[in-house]
Each structure stands twice: as C-alpha cells, then as structure tokens.
Amino acid sequence: MRYVLENEKLRVEIDSFGAELKSVKDKITGHEYMWQADAAYWGRTSPVLFPFVGKLKNDSFLHGGQTYTMKQHGFARDMEHQLISKTDNRIDFKLVTSNETLEKFPFSFVLKISYELAENEVKVLWEVSNNSVDKHMHFGIGAHPAFNCPVHGEDSKTGYQLYFAGLDELHYGINSTTTGLYLNEEHVLPLENNRAVITPEFFDKYTYIAEGNQTNEIGLEDKDGNRIVTVLFDMPLFGIWSPEGKNAPFVCIEPWYGRCDSEDFEGTLKMRPYDNSLQAGEKFNTSYTMRFGA
C-alpha cells in the first residue's frame, strides 16, 4: 500500500512493500525527482538494502557452521513492512523476524524504517534491533535511491555533474561486471571544484564504491550547476551507480554500512568487511537526508 507525506513544497509517496520511497514531487513545478522504476532500465526506485549490501560470494554466507543462501542486497526490499504510525510529515514501518527470514538469516531482529518530511528535505531513519536472547547478530544496511537525470528533456545525462563535498579526488573501488564481487584495486577520479562531469562512458563499466568516509555530502547538478538533489549522510562508504552501458536516465547515490564480498573473500559472516554487530538486546540507529532542489 502507498502512503503520502505532504507539505507546502513536496508530495512524497512511500510503499509499504519494501518500505520503499517511490516518489518525491515538487508541488510548485510538478517535477518528479525519483526514478519511476521502468524495468527496461531498473525496476526499483529506492530500495532499502538489508541485511546485506551488495552480493555475497557464491550467494551465501557461513555462520555457526551452517551455510545460508542470500541473494544480492538481502530480503527487506522484497517483503511487506508493517505500518507502525503515520502523521502528515512522518511515517514508521517495521519488519520482524519470520520463518521465512530465519531460513536465510539466523537472527531474531526488528528493522524499523522511518521517513520524515520537513521543508524540502526527506530524512530516512533506520533502527536495527537484535531481539535474540543470546546471539551476537551481524548485518549490513544501505540505501539505493535513484534520482531522475537528466531533468530538462535532454537525450542523456552527459554534462551533468556530481559534487563531492571537500574532495579534490575520489578514491574508489569497483565490482566485477561478471561476478558482481569487489575487486581489490584502487582507482582515482580527479575532481575539479569538487565535481565530476558525467561523460557518455561514465557509467559504462561498474559501480563506483568509495570507502573510508571520504565525504558526507554528495550533490547531483544539471549542466548549469543548478542543484537537483543533495544527499547528506555519515556512513563509512557509498556507491554511485547507473546501469552499465544503458544510458539510463537516472543516477543512484547510495550511502552504505556494508558492501559486496571481495572475489577472494574466504571466511565466516563476522569476518566480512564492514560487518556491523549487535549483542543481544542492542540497537543500531542511523539516518541520511535527501534535500531536493537548491
């Protein structure tokens, strides 16, 4: 079911399936900021990635001597979430352990996903609780919002810009186009005035995976430098993606607590890079904000 948050500036729609943000419209201009899930390019808009970000090696993980199967980005994006509460400017959902999740993920958890609307900003809040009596829980969580680009009727997003606050160059890794797993090699993207200009081949080969808390603010701008959206976050890494070689009319800016396995990874669940762990009864809270327009 879709729910609406609304103020004098924005109209926001969130679907209870996946607790996924589906639409953010400017109420004055009518502009839709979010990608509308055309399956010809990518059939999603802004899925929440839980309990893993990216792809596991062999689509599985080892924990407690048992192997569990898990597809890319986990299961939360493909499940119905329960509505907890709603006001005009906030909505809260939860996903709880079930027999279905226990087959894939051997922990008792509660995932709460909330959206807050204020002025021209949407804040996304996540809370992960370990409800196990005696199990130490391991997980990842991440965002995957896709923003329409170009926005002025151009044939492509060539000439649009990505702004990385405080950076002269972006250090990034990539994932393999064949396996989807992380390649242990570093690349450098030079920036001019903290910006990278999107070229025709910019998204031809891979996802940009930036580790090391390099920035906490990324902006998407049109050819004239007008800000379309700003993503504000405090997370250890992020991804920048648009479907490889498709000239897709959107760009994803993705703050993460986790990433895909490396091609050479061998180990148990708790040995995965960027593992987040909770003792029994503990909670993990974080958030990020999308600011639409200038």
Q: What are the domain boundaries of the chain?
A: 2-292
Enumerate residues 6+ apart whose C-beta is below 8 A from 97: 107, 108, 109, 110, 131
Looking at residue 259, its pLDDT comes to 97
What is the CATH topology of the domain spanning 2-292?
Answer: Beta-galactosidase; Chain A, domain 5 (2.70.98)
Residue 166 CA to residue 11 CA, distance in Å, equals 31
- Encoding tokens for residue 92? 């809260």
Q: How large is the greatest C-alpha to C-alpha distance in the chain, in angstroms?
A: 57
Distance between first and last Cα of the chain: 31
Q: Which segments of the chain have a pLDDT < 50?
A: none
Looking at residue 72, its pLDDT comes to 95
Enumerate residues 6+ apart whose C-beta is below 8 A from 91: 3, 5, 14, 83, 85, 114, 115
Looking at residue 60, its pLDDT comes to 97
Looking at residue 134, its pLDDT comes to 87
Looking at residue 184, its pLDDT comes to 86
- Encoding tokens for residue 74? 């986990």
- Classify strands 60-63 and 137-139 as parallel, antiparallel or unpaired: unpaired
Looking at residue 294, its pLDDT comes to 79
Q: Each residue of 235-264: pLDDT tens digit?
A: 999 999 999 999 999 999 999 999 999 999
pTM over 0.75: yes
Tell the burial category of 228 from Cβ atoms under 10 Å away from its Cβ (0-12, 13-18, 19+).
buried
Looking at residue 261, its pLDDT comes to 96
Looking at residue 199, its pLDDT comes to 97
